[in-house]
Amino acid sequence: MKLRLLAGMSVLLMTAGLSACSSSSDTSDGASAGGKTTIDVWLMRDSVSAQFQNEFVKGFETAHPDIRVKVQIQEWDGIGEKVTAALASNDAPDVIETGNTQVAQFAQSGGLLDLSDKVDELGGQNWLTGLAEPGAYEGKQYGIPYYAANRVVVYRTDLFKEAGVDAATVKTRDQWLAATRKLNTGGTQGIYLPGQMWFALAGFVWDEGGDLATESGGEWKGTLDTPEAIRGMNFYKQLQTLGKGPRDSDEAEPPQAEVMAKGQVAQIISTPGGANTVIENNPELKGKLAFFPIPGKTAEKPGAVFTGGSDLVIPTVSGKHDAAYTFIKELTGDTWQKKLAVAMSYVPNKTTLADAVAGDPGASAMAVGAAVGRATPNTPGWAAVEAKNPIKDYMTAVLTGSNAQQEATTASDAITTAMNSGS
């Protein structure tokens, strides 16, 4: 899912919107003069800046003079229905950018081109798991990883210094808890963590070896009631109680960046873009915010994170598969991935390209987590879970004193029902 963010997640990017047109002129039938092939490409609003888009299109058309590119910008609201309708028509675009967790929904219809035979050529052995796994469906690769983003810890350097905490030493969960307790003094909240940030919970559950749901024999079952998942919830509770975050809402209600901007919060869990929002609301904090990866259980391995971002797919009904694939190969290749990462502060689609963002503190912190990042259960039925989201109710119940095992069983049953009815 696009990390704008995650669960109504706060907007990931603070960048300029995309221009709705490319350097190519429009044609009515997709064919250009001189025997050139024109491909229609749907990219999502705010995925890249207009400057990067124009640079890529110009470079691509120079390298491939037989192909012209026509970019159309799509809005995230209602995109699922629009893509589904396009795939069922005879007038679909040739390349579509889709949220990584949406690929299964579109692949289920049979409307996407199977690109499994291209994985090796595209360097798939080094793809981020959180993009590659949801880009596959029933053993076939339909989505090609495009870019990634995930949450990190955004912290106040001045408050850490005053408390005698060196962020560089916060590598494990236990160290994180100890540091947060030291920060949680006087009028300062050691951390602002709302009770329903379920994407953060998912990472803690994965760290413990648990999952949100598992599949067996074609049936999905919610698994928040396993010992591993319960341990993940217990850690969330320990961390959440070290601040004054509401127990019955998520990071959007109230917007956590605005809460941090008031000056009494030492840490939040957010994408790096959240720091920009903090500064916009309180310019006095400029130069006082920094980042570190969400800690794991041991110093050797960072905490698991939900990987948001996008994949690129090719509709089956496109009559220009070769040209569409050439476009995807270029945009997801090492040269343009490095440029994209630098331009947009994204995590590149391969673990081997992490050095591209070494000079960007926020993106480099994301890259550490992305290397062990994951996505939600890879099935069209997961959309039914997010529609009502029993995970949020479960978290609030536990944080307000209800029995964790009983509430986890109730939530797991709700997930099971939703996934199997939704698929």
pLDDT digits (tens, 9 = 90+) for 152-176: 999 999 999 999 999 999 999 999 9
**What does the block give as tokens for 73?**
């910008």
Q: How confident is the model at residue 19 (pLDDT cuts 50, 70, 90)?
A: very low
Q: DSSP letters of 213-275?
A: EEEETTEEEE-TTSHHHHHHHHHHHHHHTTS---SSS-TBTTBHHHHHHTTTBSEEEE-THHH
* pLDDT band (50, 70, 90) for residue 407: very high
For residues 46-68, give the mean pLDDT: 96
Spell out the domain ranges in the chain.
Answer: 33-150+307-370, 152-304+378-422
For 299-321, what is the mean pLDDT? 96
**pLDDT for 323-365, tens place per residue?**
999 999 999 999 999 999 999 999 999 999 999 999 999 999 9
**Spatial separation of the C-alpha atoms in residues 368 and 304, rounded to whole Å:** 10
Mean pLDDT, residues 181-201: 95
**Fold exhibited by the domain 33-150+307-370:** D-Maltodextrin-Binding Protein; domain 2 (3.40.190)
Mean pLDDT confidence for 299-303: 96
Start-to-end C-alpha separation, the chain: 17
- Residue 187 has a pLDDT of 87
Output the pLDDT for position 31.
Answer: 52
> What kind and span of H or E run contains 289?
strand 289-292
Residue 93 confidence class, pLDDT cut points 50, 70, 90: very high
CA distance 112 to 7: 26
User: Topology of 152-304+378-422 in CATH?
Assistant: D-Maltodextrin-Binding Protein; domain 2 (3.40.190)
Q: State the Cα angle at 347 between 346 and 351, rounded to 5°.
A: 165
pTM of the model: 0.86
| Whole-angstrom distance, CA of residue 68 vs CA of residue 61 | 6
Q: What is the mean pLDDT of residues 14-29?
A: 36
d(CA 256, CA 8): 13
Decide: 30 and 40 in contact? Cβ < 8 Å.
yes
CA dihedral 258, 259, 261, 263 (to 10 degrees): 170
Do 33-150+307-370 and 152-304+378-422 come out as alike in CATH topology? yes
Q: Which residue has the higher pLDDT, 189 or 46?
A: 189
Residues 374-379 have a mean pLDDT of 93
